[in-house]
Structure 1
Amino acid sequence: MTGGVNGVALGVFIFFFVAVTVLGFLAARWRRADNALSLDEWGLGGRSFGTWITWFLLGGDLYTAYTFVAVPAAIYAAGAAGFFAVPYTIITYPLVFLFLPRLWSISHKHGYVTSSDFIRGRFGSKGLSLAMAVTGILATMPYIALQLVGIQAVLDVMGVGGGENSSWFMKDLPLLIAFGVLAAYTYSSGLRAPAMIAFVKDALIYIVIAVAIIYIPYKLGGFDDIFDKAGKAYATVNPATGKPKGSLISGPDAQWAYATLALGSAMALFLYPHSVTAVLSGKSRNVIRRNTTILPLYSLMLGLLAMLGFMALAAGVGVGVKGYNPQTAIPQLFENMFPDWFAGVAFAAIGIGALVPAAIMSIAAANLFTRNIYKDFIKPDATPAQETKVSKVVSLLVKVGALIFVLTMDKTVAINFQLLGGIWILQTVPAIVGGLFTRWFHRWALLAGWAAGMFYGTWKAYEQHTPAQNHFAGNADLIPYIGEKGYIGLTAFVINIVVAVVLTFVLKALKAPEGVDETSPSDYTADSGEPGVKEELPLAAS
């Protein structure tokens, strides 16, 4: 923060924030269904979104404020290693093209609202379904918290509530207000609110990126000077480690870690509860297939976005400042380089980019609790209206938990817990993705494999340390029998698979009960308009 409040930027930020707040509340009336007290309506938007709405919703869901801040911040702090986010978002779409349409079909055929609903129906196991639901909720909580971290970084750069001499209440008041607004319109409008706001969010982000990638290099003397200055900054020695701070090109010792992190992240991305929620809101199987072909346009934006990390170094943002927080580097770059009014637009893009995914994530986590904990274990006879009311309340509690996480814990801890969430979500792949193609795995074997992967991944992540941090300081460790450093989550996934395969052979030989599969092969290719497929809810009369 350069000092003082940037009044012009703050004014522009407030204007857009108020505008999307109004949209959030108006969304309750947008294509409203006749039966509003249903999770299909509140939690899945009536299962009625077409190709473009789903595209904006998924884009707003997956490419978050944290992406806007953290991807270039990773480039800023370490160099080329941070670019893993670009190839992984490219790799993920061919992978999900294979299984997302099947997940959509089976979910609409049987009225599943969450991926854990599918697990329960496919394997006849509430225990395995519960494990997947708890994993999803745990992985989502720090992710929501990091959206609030993104808003907080913008507020700090604008000089709002960031004064060190302020009381804790005044310092965090702007974040509390943003949280309150988010909670209110999510409770009121459900998934329709982030779906409508996503249009504004994506438009602002594309405008900011287009301007930044042309205007900032012009101001800094071109890309030659940017790369030259960034290279020199990376070459300086970090006194804490005695090694260079980063590099423009990953060295041979980092290639396994880079490749496995990209692959593991690609496998996990669309299994996060918020990703599944956005997918199931689509009105047809073809909507999902089209989206897997046009969503890579966001990867182009992400590649340009990552370049901002180099630009921040070349502009001298935070260079030489002891203990500088890389998460504020990009907001600070915008304030330093743009006119105040356009800096406000950029800050609004980041802030709104936090509201959209935070809303979807809280809805997704609430749906998991309602369907796979509350209904399965607490009140099996819950009516659709009761489910909706519980989900609304839980969505508020999830946000409160995320807010407490942000206000009470160090931001580095929040980031590391989000990295741990990626390791955990990867352990749901054998059950969810495997279950979409085969019933061969035994339900108990899948549960044991999940437990083994969760234990190994959490243990190894806990062991990672740096001179500045004792635990959870990274996501790479030596791969057994290979001896190269690789992504812990992918190693844990391999252990998960091995345990599941071995135990499946053993349990089948012992003729252990396998549970009832309520699905049939034709369910996995069903589309809207076919008999028995759950269609969008009828719209309310105007």
Structure 2
Amino acid sequence: MNATVATSVFGVFMVATVALGLLATRGRRKGNGEGGGLAEWSVGGRSLGTVFIWVLMAGEGYTSFSYLGAAGWGYNYGAPVLYVVAYMSCGYAIGYVVGPMLWAYARRHGLVGITDMVAHRFGRPWLGALVAVLATVFLLPYIQLQITGMGVVVSTISYGAISLNQAYFIAFAVTTGFVVVSGLRGSAWVSVLKDVLVIATLGFLAFYVPMHYFDGYGPFLDRLVTEKSQWLTFPGHGDSGLGQAWFITTSFLNSLTVVIFPTTVAGYLGAKNADVLRRNAMLLPAYNVLLFVPMLLGMAALFVVPGLVGAESNLALFQLVVDSLPAWAVGVIGVAAALSSIVPMAVFMLVIGTMWGRSVLSLVPRWERRQKGAAQVVVVVAGSLALLLTYTAPNTLVRLSLISYEGMAQLLPMVLLGLMWRRLTLLGATSGLVVGVGVVCGFVFTENDPVWGVNAGIVALAANLAVALAVTYAGPRERDDRPDDEVLARDETGAPKAPEAPEQEAESGRAPAGTGY
């Protein structure tokens, strides 16, 4: 009976989710090609306002990790999990400057993704394709992890009636169908529903769990300080190696990386103007308050469901929910957690499809004028690959998941330094990228992360930057006939200057290569 009630609630909300995505595309099916073209599908026609950008970017950052992983890390380690709050808040501050810059650059030249920007900046279409392949490698683990997270949620709220394998397929089918049809605009609309449910359910749990199990926050915190004090200091519980140096370097590296993460850039490029992004950067940190709830409840689970080991710790929060709440409430909380998988997974798949459709498959003449169709095919292929790996090799990408942010960080010199400093050469940027990726993979795959007590990614980024600068200064200077204001156009306030000409949205055309900001 409990399983029927909870899964029925879940099913109704999933149907509503797909319907909301379809509703979001009404009236937008115009322009180049069916469905309004690649720009409408991938960046919402660059027309999203402050509210939609806020919920979209909050939704992309608040994943199933926030329900499962944050609680699991709180359960296993304690204090080190606070790095999530630290890097996201700092990243929003950096995004206040970087977001408008990337938005203006992309709009000025009719670009729809990070791979477009790299190819355009260095005048090499193949470089965009290379970055697309590399970024896909670092994004696929996120898709697999979201499929796994949503599968665990679905199986748990069904009280075991739905097997994990069935739940994984449900996660894949719902998300793939949703993103192919609705694109970025649909994800933004569904993010509104997700945010309402997330705020409501976490607000309820933050009050309910301490009162139900401990008679209030006072007794709960007293027990935590008295019995589990190790969880409240660095490096947390156990021999994790996640000390203060790791916390600082990880927060710093991730706060830089998040602003050029392909999914974040997709959110930037969906804005209708740069002021939307500035307001958004000021509002987004408020959403981070919600992250404290699963972290705290994960530590509360130490007293209620002790003895969870390994991956079982990720179920710490849902064990509290299933054990103490009626089935309909379990279903609603399960929907909030599932949408926290669907929205970011949709954005990840959307970005992969856009990168390949725009930068890789468009190099083939027969696909050049069918970029949106090619991107949608890639979405299905990427989701299918992640689902296949979830079934056949669930642990294969565990190490790759560790280097997702650390690996993506190696694009920082090529993207940010390349846009800000016209002297950086193609040889210097690619040499640094190769060295950075090689170093971070070497550390992680030999299980030396953290290394010397710090995040391995920041060591790799230092090597990356050093090589990029050395090769740039030692090698021949590339000829650049662009005027200064074309490289870095700014208005009277010093902010990136928006273009005066209408944006270029040609479905088939890549922007002219070799021109700068």
Q: TM-score, normalised by structure 1?
A: 0.85
Q: In structure 1, give the amino acid aligned to 2:451.
A: D
Asked whether 1:201 is paired with 2:200, we answer no
Q: 1:34 to 1:402 in 2, by over 3 A?
A: same
Instruction: Write the distance in 2 (CA, Å) between the matches of 1:151 and 1:282.
Output: 29
Find the counterpart in structure 2 of residue 470 from structure 1. Answer: none
Q: In structure 2, give the amino acid aligned to 1:145.
A: Q
Map residues 136-285 of structure 1 onto 2, 5 A cutoff.
Answer: 136-159=135-158, 171-221=164-214, 222-230=216-224, 247-251=231-235, 254-285=243-274
Is the 8 Å Cα contact of residues 44 and 280 (structure 1) preserved in structure 2? Answer: yes
Asked whether 1:522 is paired with 2:489, we answer yes
- Displacement of 1:57 in angstroms is 0.9
Find the counterpart in structure 1 of residue 451 from structure 2. Answer: 477
- Displacement of 1:145 in angstroms is 1.1
Find the counterpart in structure 2 of residue 388 from structure 1. Answer: 372
Find the counterpart in structure 2 of residue 292 from structure 1. Answer: 281
Map residues 293-308 of structure 1 onto 2, 5 A cutoff.
Answer: 293-308=282-297
Instruction: Write the distance in 2 (CA, Å) between the matches of 1:30 and 1:490.
Output: 46
Find the counterpart in structure 2 of residue 166 from structure 1. Answer: none
Find the counterpart in structure 2 of residue 502 from structure 1. Answer: 470
**Deviations along 1:269-325, whole A, 9 cap, x unmatched?**
13221111121011111111111111111111112332121122132x2x2356561
- CA-based RMSD: 2.6
Find the counterpart in structure 2 of residue 68 from structure 1. Answer: 67
Is the 8 Å Cα contact of residues 124 and 515 (structure 1) preserved in structure 2? Answer: no
Q: 1:263 to 1:447 in 2, by over 3 A?
A: same
Identity fraction in percent = 26
**Deviations along 1:101-143, whole A, 9 cap, x unmatched?**
0100010110111112111111223344333222211111111
Q: 1:51 to 1:145 in 2, by over 3 A?
A: same
Instruction: Write the distance in 1 (CA, Å) between the matches of 2:399 and 2:222.
Output: 31
Find the counterpart in structure 1 of residue 364 from structure 2. Answer: 378
- Displacement of 1:402 in angstroms is 1.3
Asked whether 1:330 is paired with 2:330, we answer no
- Displacement of 1:66 in angstroms is 2.3
Instruction: Write the distance in 2 (CA, Å) between the matches of 1:183 and 1:352.
Output: 13
Where 1:427 maps in the other structure, the secondary structure is helix
Is the 8 Å Cα contact of residues 153 and 331 (structure 1) preserved in structure 2? Answer: no
Q: 1:493 to 1:338 in 2, by over 3 A?
A: same
Asked whether 1:360 is paired with 2:347, we answer yes
Q: In structure 1, give the amino acid aligned to 2:41.
A: W
Find the counterpart in structure 2 of residue 114 from structure 1. Answer: 113
**Deviations along 1:81-100, whole A, 9 cap, x unmatched?**
11111111111112121211
**Deviations along 1:439-478, whole A, 9 cap, x unmatched?**
121111110101111000011001117xxxxxxxxx4111
- Displacement of 1:223 in angstroms is 2.9
- Displacement of 1:417 in angstroms is 2.1
Question: Please, which moves more after superposition, 13-22 or 496-505?
Answer: 13-22
Q: 1:30 to 1:37 in 2, by over 3 A?
A: closer
Instruction: Write the distance in 1 (CA, Å) between the matches of 2:367 and 2:480.
Output: 21
Q: 1:390 to 1:407 in 2, by over 3 A?
A: same
Question: Please, which moves more after superposition, 455-464 or 91-100?
Answer: 91-100
In the alignment of these two chains, the number of paired residues is 493
Instruction: Write the distance in 2 (CA, Å) between the matches of 1:234 and 1:406.
Output: 35
Instruction: Write the distance in 1 (CA, Å) between the matches of 2:220 and 2:428.
Output: 52
Is the 8 Å Cα contact of residues 527 and 533 (structure 1) preserved in structure 2? Answer: no
Asked whether 1:21 is paired with 2:18, we answer yes
Asked whether 1:341 is paired with 2:328, we answer yes
Q: 5+ unaligned residues in a row in structure 2: which ranges?
A: 508-517
Is the 8 Å Cα contact of residues 152 and 164 (structure 2) preserved in structure 1? Answer: no
Asked whether 1:7 is paired with 2:4, we answer yes
Instruction: Write the distance in 1 (CA, Å) between the matches of 2:222 and 2:506.
Output: 55
Instruction: Write the distance in 2 (CA, Å) between the matches of 1:294 and 1:422.
Output: 24
Is the 8 Å Cα contact of residues 10 and 158 (structure 1) preserved in structure 2? Answer: yes
Q: 5+ unaligned residues in a row in structure 1: which ranges?
A: 164-169, 236-245, 466-474, 479-484, 538-542
- Displacement of 1:14 in angstroms is 1.8
Is the 8 Å Cα contact of residues 227 and 314 (structure 1) preserved in structure 2? Answer: no
Instruction: Write the distance in 2 (CA, Å) between the matches of 1:499 and 1:516.
Output: 25
Instruction: Write the distance in 2 (CA, Å) between the matches of 1:130 and 1:188.
Output: 25
Is the 8 Å Cα contact of residues 363 and 395 (structure 1) preserved in structure 2? Answer: yes
Where 2:232 maps in the other structure, the secondary structure is coil
Where 2:451 maps in the other structure, the secondary structure is strand
- Displacement of 1:200 in angstroms is 0.4
Is the 8 Å Cα contact of residues 69 and 328 (structure 1) preserved in structure 2? Answer: yes
Is the 8 Å Cα contact of residues 9 and 341 (structure 1) preserved in structure 2? Answer: yes
- Displacement of 1:186 in angstroms is 1.6
Q: TM-score, normalised by structure 2?
A: 0.89
**Deviations along 1:34-88, whole A, 9 cap, x unmatched?**
4434111111111111111111111111211223221121111111111111111
Find the counterpart in structure 2 of residue 482 from structure 1. Answer: none
Q: 1:403 to 1:62 in 2, by over 3 A?
A: same
Q: In structure 2, give the amino acid aligned to 1:10.
A: T
Is the 8 Å Cα contact of residues 436 and 460 (structure 2) preserved in structure 1? Answer: yes
- Displacement of 1:227 in angstroms is 3.8
Q: 1:40 to 1:517 in 2, by over 3 A?
A: farther
Asked whether 1:313 is paired with 2:302, we answer yes
